[in-house]
């Protein structure tokens, strides 16, 4: 029994050290003097390394829909948005279509601009700027590094729990399955996508700027929140959060001058809309 106990602890420690090592790498710039601050390119490279690790576990928990033509179109929209924002420009952009989890129109994103889009939401949108807005919100979460912050908080909580209880053998962030540790918690109450209202509002604010710089009508984001409000059974947000996001979006849009000829619906969107509705 004692041998098994120590073997379990070594396995948990090895996995935690692997992810913690990546986190320490991308957080290292925060602890250095200002003169040694890493460049945006260096930070993006380190974030990408963590994102690749996280994607392996996330992909195993999602169900995907495949359509090459739609994927090319979505990737073009996402890259147009990313390339217009300096902090996102230059990296790869990946878009994947996922089946709705528990009937919700919920999207996700990981460092490295890897974006997961709800098939149900894609079928529901009427305008291209709404679709672009949904992608921009996820890019906003990437810019603010929300998933990475949640991951770091989870690992710190695990370390505290193990220090306070030597016999500790399971946490919500990293539970055990037999002798094998499960992967990072993605969807639980402490999961890396369990963002606060403030996190969602910050992503919405970033999304307005992303849309504006890429030439998309940012009012598509306001229309997106209205769509969630009208379909609460499909919305991944509660109504109070949707109201906060709508208010944040209105204020952010008001701070920008109106765009000349903003993208609302392109010919590419009109050509592929019927195909999207058949997902």
- Which pLDDT belongs to residue 36? 67
What average pLDDT does range 142-169 have in this prediction? 78
Give φ, ψ of 64 to 5 degrees.
-110, 155
Give the pLDDT confidence score for residue 30 in this predicted structure: 52
Higher pLDDT, residue 132 or 158: 132
Which positions ≥6 away from 12 have C-beta within 8 Å? 174, 176, 181
Q: Which two tokens stand for residue 94?
A: 């990946």
What pLDDT is stored for residue 133 in this prediction? 98
186 in helix, strand or coil?
Answer: coil
Rounded Cα distance, 154 and 162, in Å:
12
Contacts of 278 (CB under 8 A, 6+ apart): none
Average pLDDT, the chain: 85
Eight-class DSSP state of 76: H
Nearest residue to 80 (alpha-carbon basis) of 23, 44, 30, 128 = 128
> How much of the chain, in percent, has pLDDT values that exceed 90?
67
**Is the per-residue pLDDT at 127 higher than 80?**
yes
pLDDT band at 155 (very low <50, low <70, confident <90, very high): confident
Terminal C-alpha separation, the chain: 52
Please report the sign of the dihedral spanned by the C-alpha atoms of residue 59, residue 88, residue 125, residue 270: negative
> Per-residue pLDDT for 175 more than 70?
no
Beta bridge partners of 97: 65, 117
Q: What is the DSSP letter of 207?
A: H
| Residue 43 pLDDT | 75
Instruction: Specify the residue for token string 């948990």.
Output: 12
pLDDT value of residue 27: 55
- Residue 77 tokens read as 């929209």
Domain residue ranges of the chain, discontinuous segments joined by +: 2-276
Residue 221 has pLDDT above 90, yes or no: yes
d(CA 28, CA 43): 10
DSSP SS3 for 75: helix
Q: Is the pLDDT of residue 181 over 70?
A: no
User: What's the confidence (pLDDT) of residue 13?
Assistant: 57
| Percent residues over pLDDT 70 in the chain | 78
pLDDT at 34 over 80: no
3-state secondary structure 242-269: HHHHHHHHHHHHHCCCCCCCCECCCHHH
Would the CA dihedral through 44, 49, 52, 53 be positive or negative?
negative
Split at pLDDT 50, 70, 90, the class of 157 is confident
104 phi and psi angles, rounded to 5 deg: -100, 145
Check the CA dihedral 109-114-119-124 and report its sign: positive
C-alpha 235/C-alpha 27 separation (Å) is 33
Specify the pLDDT at position 42. Answer: 79
Q: Tell me the three state secondary structure of residue 177.
A: strand
In the prediction, which pLDDT does 251 show?
97
């Amino acid at each position: 029994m004692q041998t098994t106990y120590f073997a379990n602890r070594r396995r948990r420690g090895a996995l935690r050290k692997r992810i913690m090592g990546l986190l320490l790498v991308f957080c290292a710039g925060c602890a250095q003097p200002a003169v040694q601050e890493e460049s945006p390119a260096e930070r993006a490279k380190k974030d990408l390394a963590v994102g690749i690790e996280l994607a392996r576990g996330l992909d195993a928990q999602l169900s995907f829909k495949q359509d090459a033509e739609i994927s090319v179109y979505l990737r073009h929209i996402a890259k147009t948005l990313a390339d217009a924002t300096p902090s996102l420009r230059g990296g790869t952009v990946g878009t994947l279509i996922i089946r709705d989890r528990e009937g919700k129109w919920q999207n996700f994103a990981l460092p490295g601009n890897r974006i997961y889009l709800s098939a149900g939401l894609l079928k529901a949108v009427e305008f291209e700027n709404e679709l672009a807005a949904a992608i921009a919100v996820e890019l906003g979460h990437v810019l603010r590094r929300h998933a990475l912050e949640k991951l770091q908080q989870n690992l710190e909580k695990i370390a505290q729990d193990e220090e306070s209880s030597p016999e500790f053998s399971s946490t919500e962030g990293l539970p055990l399955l037999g002798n094998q540790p499960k992967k990072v918690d993605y969807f639980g109450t402490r999961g890396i996508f369990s963002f606060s209202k403030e996190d969602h509002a910050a992503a919405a604010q970033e999304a307005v700027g992303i849309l504006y710089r890429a030439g998309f009508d940012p009012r598509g984001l306001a229309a997106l929140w209205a769509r969630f409000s009208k379909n609460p059974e499909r919305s991944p947000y509660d109504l109070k959060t949707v109201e906060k996001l709508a208010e944040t979006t209105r204020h952010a849009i008001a701070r920008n001058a109106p765009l000349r000829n903003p993208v609302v619906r392109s010919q590419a969107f009109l050509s592929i809309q019927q195909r999207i509705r058949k997902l």
